[in-house]
Homo-oligomer: A and B are copies of this chain.
Amino acid sequence: MENADLTLTIIGRVSSPLKTREECPRQGFENAPEAEIEIFPSFLEGLDGMEPGRDIFVFTWLHQADRSILKVRPRRNPDAQLKGVFATRSPVRPNPIGLHRVKLLEKDGGRLLVAPLEAVDGTPVIDIKPVITRNDEC
């Protein structure tokens, strides 16, 4: 039953004023800007029923991250001990998946305006899911 295909499909791209990794805050809530996500035409149908105003999870592929490193030094603390990447939100990890909780501000066809998003311009998007809670069944 195993789905042998472990290859990700890129469904869209981030379009952002953040043009380099150095400009990017580490997390969305650290003053990250609005950004646009362009979903490619062949995946447009998958957006039906998405409503502006809702919180969504955007999943990205952090294509500039090193996949071979398993320990990192916590940021802003060069004296701290190394920590396993799974105990951090570092982009460095075997599968550099970015998880971004954002608000969907506008939706125009395949163009989604979201905020705040700390991903660099051009970052591949691999999935979008609604944020749900126990009282928010969908």
Contact = CB atoms under 8 A, between A and B. Distances in A.
Given A43-B94, A71-B46, A94-B11, A129 B6 contact: no
A32 interface: no
Interface of A: 1-3, 5-11, 27, 29, 39, 43, 45-51, 57, 59, 61, 63-65, 67, 70-71, 74, 81-89, 93-97, 99, 126-130, 132, 134, 138
Q: Secondary structure of the A side of the interface?
A: loop
Contacts of A63: 1-3
B97 A127 contact: yes
A9 B84 CA distance: 17
Contact of A138 (B6, B89, B96, B134): B89
